[in-house]
Chains A and B, each alone.
Chain A
Amino acid sequence: MKSPAAYADIIQYRFNPLEKSKLWLWKLVRTILIAGFCFIILFPLFLRLSVAFRSKVDIYDPTVLWIPRHFTLDNIKIAMEATHYFSALLNTFLISAGTTIIQLASCALAAYAFARLKFKGSGLLFGLVIFTIVVPPQTIMIPLYLTYRYFDLFGLVKLLSGKSSVNLIDTFWPFLISSATAMGLKNGLYIYIFRQFFRGIPKEIEESAFVDGAGVLKTFYRIMLPNAVPAIVTVLLFSFVWQWNDSYYVSLFLSKVKVLSTQLMDMGSALGKEPDLVYQSMLLNTGVLLLTAPLIILYLFVQRYFVESVERTGIVG
């Protein structure tokens, strides 16, 4: 049973030629607009795909627009060699997956505390978290680098090993430590998302769990987390993707360890012996494609849950 207004709508649209034509016109305009935007978004991707399989002969052939005439896998091979693709891929994946899982845990815990387990000063602390989003990462770049370069946790390291400090540059530790303390890439945003979501879950559910004898921890992982799946999916995707694409922190903490985004930046010099500039940019674009290919494949699987979850993420509160 629909509401009377809905019926009025239907009648109005079905029998009023003016309304009908307006509706169709709007539909047409909307379709054109959406198709246009989608084209703009997809165009670079398609272009890169088309370029990746071209041979050198096709570059100066004006009749080749989309489909390469001389199909070849050479570009991909060269790009893979120039970037040491598989070792870089493994490193990138390890860093991204590790930080994602740890960040998820640390951010969700902190956000739950901010949403439900209020204590003295938690408001101030949350304000600080928001402040971390606002401060540009460049501001604390150098001290952060030095912190990890001469890492010494309140003098603990000195006590245990007798050395004055540990050098953590070129290991994965900086990423893991940052993630574990919820100070990683855009973690303030994740805490904010989670907090908004947890606030939207009815208090009664929690209270009934307490009455039934569950402790705070148990309530958190048996009641809150299963309810927060949309937020979890959103944060998972964001943190994985942003860490994957990040070149800033990676180039700050890693110089010898190779990951995809830094490899891609150095690819130009790796291709230095290639005289033809157009071909060089072709190879670079192939490299970009190689960087994003795993993400696109991941997105194909996740997008359904992602798009659905967005609607209920409670980003809005």
Chain B
Amino acid sequence: MLTPHVVTATLARLATEAEPPGLLPAREQMALSLGWHIVLACFGVAFPAMIFVMHLRGIRRNDAVALGLAKRWAKVSAVLFAIGAVSGTVLSFEMGLLWPGLMGTYGDVLGLPFAFEGLAFFLEAIFLGIYLYGWGRMPAKRHVLMVLPMAITGIIGAYCVLAVNAWMNVPTGFRLVEGQVTDVEPWKVLFNRHAFLQFAHMWVGAYMLTGFSVAGVYAVGMLRGRRDAHHRLGFLVPFVFASVAAVTQPFVGHVLGFGLDERQPAKLAAFELAETTESPSPLRLGGILVDGEVKGSIDIPYLGSLIAMNSPDKPVPGLDTIPEEDHPPVNMTHLAFQTMVGIGTLLAAAVVLFWFQRRRGRDLLERRWFLRFVAAAGPLAVIALEAGWIATEVGRQPWIVYDVLRTTDAVGDYTASLWWLLGISTVVYTAMTIGAVVVLRSMARRWRAGDADLPSPYAPEVAAAPEVEA
């Protein structure tokens, strides 16, 4: 019955449970812009090293094929860097626009790593300018060295950003006294104990993503019958980077997971889909939580305890040990985590197979199924990276700074108008993605047609063409 008493009781319950109206669109907005940027950031971190190796090979062995590849990759990286830089700028605005509760109160706690990230990015942008325009304009030996600072600053920049993220997971370097932030120690944030491992995981992930993506492009070329030195070398260099990264990643990820039961038990419980504390805990493949019950998972006994706790019987603490209001969205966290681990394992197995067969004198590049797999490996690595990021970010909820600041308290008091912003952003990011794909494809097409140097769109011969508008 809809009595006044029931109505007021319901309203009162809704009022206490209701999230700020801007929270969901703000989170989606952040997810869109960060999820988009993270892919380009990976290229910014990993691509310069591959270009350096290729360019160096070109100079050392006087290898025209390698030099040509380095030159093309540099042009590709120019396009990716440009849109990566603007999407990164979007994020620095959004930190304040969407999360004034975080930046207003903790800006001086978490800010210093960003200052060093800014420095690193500055250097990367400067050397990109020098390198891109340096072709044929400075001595070859000096020119190739101009890539090196980009490779190094990409690493430093990634470390700094990950230091802030690690701080959000394991806050340190300040004290809360009666709600006031005091005793700020910004260097502790920059060098927090968790930052290095989180960085290592992301860094290796960047090499996987970039390596598999670039190698995939040449795998597609080989599938279409282009089996020249250009394609073999273009495949091999990024594939070597990706291979080393792919076999390293499971170890890095495993070490990163140590102590998660103490650091963020709710996140671990969500990763493992541990509703209740079981001893020993099984490893749950797939499955979702419906009304507090695990459905549809394949359970492998003991393995959960072994992998998560490094012990045959130590249990993974379950969600039942954690207050309801501190639970993250369990299903999304669990599935994202398993997607990351699953794809990572598949990619590691594939590269091991490739190199093993190669040692035995069998070249999998002759096999179409393997080329098809490599073509898919780039997108798979992107999915794995996004899934890993979703797992760690969603798994931290409802905290924006773990155990210190709830996401609901960090968001600005914008109303549902943020949905408009999200709509516009979706259109802009889609347009930017289409633009990048169109331009990169047309670059590739012209290169295939034999244009070593792309003509300027305004060069006299283009400008002299009949006016379309006439």
A binds B: no
